[in-house]
Amino acid sequence: MPNGKKQFQGKGRRFRGDVWLDEKITGRTIHALQTRGVKFPANVNPRGTREFKDEYKKQLKLFRQEHAAKIAAKKEAAQNQNSGSDSESQQRTEVSVPAEFVNPLDVIRQLQKKGILELVVPPGK
């Protein structure tokens, strides 16, 4: 296999999403039917039976729901990771200015004393 790619289908077979999905859902369907105790005669193709067709539709719907939830979880995790790094680097603190402050420089000096604001301002100016 070139470039170490994972092989989804049999040796020498080209990957086709529709074939892969059909094989996956068929496997899930057969397993679900076997766990419920449904048995098929040896000379009958299970895909032609009504039980198989009904269960196949059910499994396909279930797979699509699981897959959509998995993709949504990945998107949410990526979004949380991105928003988390943004909030860490740019935290904003809202400060209200009390009425007793008249001079804006007094406000800046008070904020510097509290450690909220750090400016490169020469002292006494």
- pLDDT one-digit tens code per residue, 6-46: 655 666 666 677 888 888 899 999 999 999 998 888 888 88
Residue 8 in tokens: 């989804």
> What average pLDDT does the structure give for the chain?
77
What is the rounded CA–CA span in Å between residue 27 and residue 20? Answer: 11
pTM of the model: 0.52
- Which of 34, 35, 33, 20 shows the shortest CA–CA distance to 67? 20
The CA distances from residue 97 to 105, 110, 115, 125, in Å, are 12, 10, 16, 20
Contact 9, 19 (CB under 8 A): yes
Mean pLDDT score, 56-69: 91
Identify whether the C-beta of residue 61 lies closer than 8 Å to the C-beta of residue 87.
no
Which of helix, strand or coil describes residue 102? coil
Please state the rounded mean pLDDT for residues 96-118.
68
Instruction: Kindly state the tokens that stand for 102.
Output: 């008249």
Q: In this model, does residue 80 exceed pLDDT 60?
A: yes
SS3 7: coil
- The Cα 13–Cα 113 span in angstroms is 71
